[in-house]
Amino acid sequence: MIIVIHTNQVVVQVKSFKNIIDESAYLGKSLSKVWIQLCLIYKNEFLFWVSDEVREISNENEFTSILKNKFEIQSYGKTNPIDVAIGYIEQSPFLNINKKVKYPTWIMNDKIGGIHAEAFNLIYNKALHSSNFNELMCSIAKAGQPKGLLSYSNPNLLINKQIETKEEVTHPVNLFSFVKKHYKLQWVFILLFNILIYDKKFPILSFFKSLFVKKARQSKSLSTLYSQTKTISVTEQDTVDVLIPTIGRAQYLETVFTMLANQTHLPHKVIVVEQNAVAGAATELNFIYNKKWPFKVDHQLIYQLGACNARNLGLDKVESKYVFFADDDIEFANNFIETSLFVIKSNNFSAVNLACLQVGEKLENNNIMQWETFGSGCSIVETRCVIDLKYNILYEFGFGEDADFGMQLRNKGFDIIYLPNPLILHLKAPIGGFRTKHVQSWSKDLVLPKPSPTVMLFKQKYLTRNQLLGYKIVLFAKFYKRQSIKNPFAYIQFMNQRWAKSKYLANILNLKK
């Protein structure tokens, strides 16, 4: 382990716990320059940076236990070095950082942090270089995220889990330059437009300079850094409960049961919450009782429709170490559970979202990576992570319950990791679902909400102000060609009415909680 101490991004000390380092070769030089040199020389080391501002409260004795995976980068700071205007062009959950827990974000801070030299070297290229260490490490995290780098804000890097209350010395990231490096060209123009409209600023010089910045090349995959150790094995103690809400899909569900019965690592229990709108109707799942299954079956028939309610009832019955959130119309291999648990255990993951493809779809991303949402039909989570979590009933019959559940996990300190393998095939069964279309209370209003009030509810709850406004601009632009009002001024006026209606209804929903 190597620790680089800096003052205002100028190196003042280099500490090594294994190697003999000529410290004088680095003192007084820029942190970015020294960092690149050290990563090239000490390729098998974890490197940490610590600012003098937080040196006395750095959790140095725990660094090796806090950052022990080669595929992670972690940092922490009271403030973020990148302008909040970045939210105008990115809708991910990685911007509105919960500073109280280990939270996924590509926004790095020069106050304190660390990364393994091998991971840094795989990602770094000259297009990412910056003399501003904040910009350099944000670029590393941003470029590395789709290639398998897991990046976090982690308060545990400090002894007291919080930054000192005094004002930080901040080295802001050049926003337009950063956007040009990491986003498609059109987003530079969209960013300028949003800043002009909402912030009443016109940073034309920064915008113009950014047009000459080279786009960052794709980084190398970090797949080689993920553990596939043969010392890890899936044992009887790695119990799994499978949670399946269902309605009107007995034939498909029976196939799912058969696949579960053929698993090389059998589930402990399969929890089925069957919904039927006809009060007093008999179960359609006779196969559960007519066949013998090599696992426990907990079947509950309810006469209330709604996936959120059904999943919550099922969560109350989970008792195993892991819970597999499954759909009732999926297919998977016989070693699906065992393979998934092997990857989870090997890399200390808490929640994973498995690749779930529809018939004819091809897998586009082969990298393990941080995931932006959560799939309630294709995820495996440690039960300890969901003990006190519930699907929010406010999203019932709307959109957003999966994403909301994912945000609950993140705000508890549990990241959601995408696994490209093993695969799940989602059949999208043509039967089942709600036999009668649920009619929303606002469906006959003269002015219909846009977006859906549940979507608005989610975005108001979890995104930043800038992200919400950026979403509004993109929504209006994309929807323009799909509607009949072609006068742009009349269209904007009408869409503002729909947006206001959506916010109003979202607030009404929120009052019901």
- Taking residue 446's Cβ as centre, other Cβ atoms within 10 Å add up to 6
Point out which residues pair with 152 in neighbouring strands. 74, 104
Average pLDDT value for the chain: 93
Domain ranges, ordered by start, for the chain = 2-224, 240-426, 453-511
Read off φ and ψ for residue 391, nearest 5 degrees: -70, 135
Are the beta carbons of 177 and 210 closer than 8 angstroms? yes
DSSP string, 203-254: -HHHHHHHTTSPPPPPPPP-GGGS---TT----TTS-EEEEEEESS-HHHHH
Q: Lowest-pLDDT range, 9-23, 140-154, 379-393?
A: 9-23
pLDDT digits (tens, 9 = 90+) for 439-473: 677 777 888 999 999 999 999 999 999 999 999 99
The Cα 154–Cα 161 span in angstroms is: 8
- Residue 285's pLDDT is 96
Q: Give the rounded percent of residues in the chain with a pLDDT score beyond 90.
A: 86
- Residue 458's pLDDT is 96
CATH of domain 2-224: 3.90.550
Strand 46-51 vs strand 103-104: parallel, antiparallel, or unpaired?
unpaired
Q: Lowest-pLDDT range, 2-6, 211-215, 226-230?
A: 226-230
Q: Is the pLDDT of residue 225 over 70?
A: yes
pLDDT digits (tens, 9 = 90+) for 301-341: 999 999 999 999 999 999 999 999 999 999 999 999 999 99
Are the beta carbons of 233 and 261 closer than 8 angstroms? no
- Residue 165's pLDDT is 46
DSSP string, 450-513: SS-HHHHHHHHHHS-HHHHHHHHHHHHHHHGGGSS---HHHHHHHHHHHHHHHHHHHHHHHHT-
- Residue 117's pLDDT is 97
- Residue 232's pLDDT is 86
pLDDT digits (tens, 9 = 90+) for 424-433: 999 987 765 4
Asked whether the domain spanning 240-426 has the same topology as the one spanning 2-224, the reply is yes
Tell whether the torsion through CA atoms of 8, 10, 13 and 15 is positive or negative. positive
Q: Which of 353, 392, 399 is nearest to 374 (CA)?
A: 353
CA distances from 101 to 105, 111, 134 (A): 12, 17, 21
DSSP string, 75-117: EE-SS-SS-GGGGGT--STTSS--TTS-EE-S---TTEEEEEH
Q: Is the pLDDT of residue 41 over 80?
A: yes
Average pLDDT over residues 233-260: 96
pLDDT digits (tens, 9 = 90+) for 149-167: 999 999 999 997 655 545 5
What is the 8-class DSSP label of residue 294?
S
What is the 8-class DSSP label of residue 30?
B
- Residue 20's pLDDT is 85
Q: Token pair for residue 75?
A: 């940092």
Q: Token pair for residue 510?
A: 């929120």
pLDDT digits (tens, 9 = 90+) for 11-31: 999 999 888 888 899 999 999
pLDDT digits (tens, 9 = 90+) for 171-213: 999 999 999 999 999 999 999 999 999 999 999 999 999 999 9
pTM of the entire structure? 0.94
240-426 maps to CATH 3.90.550.10: yes
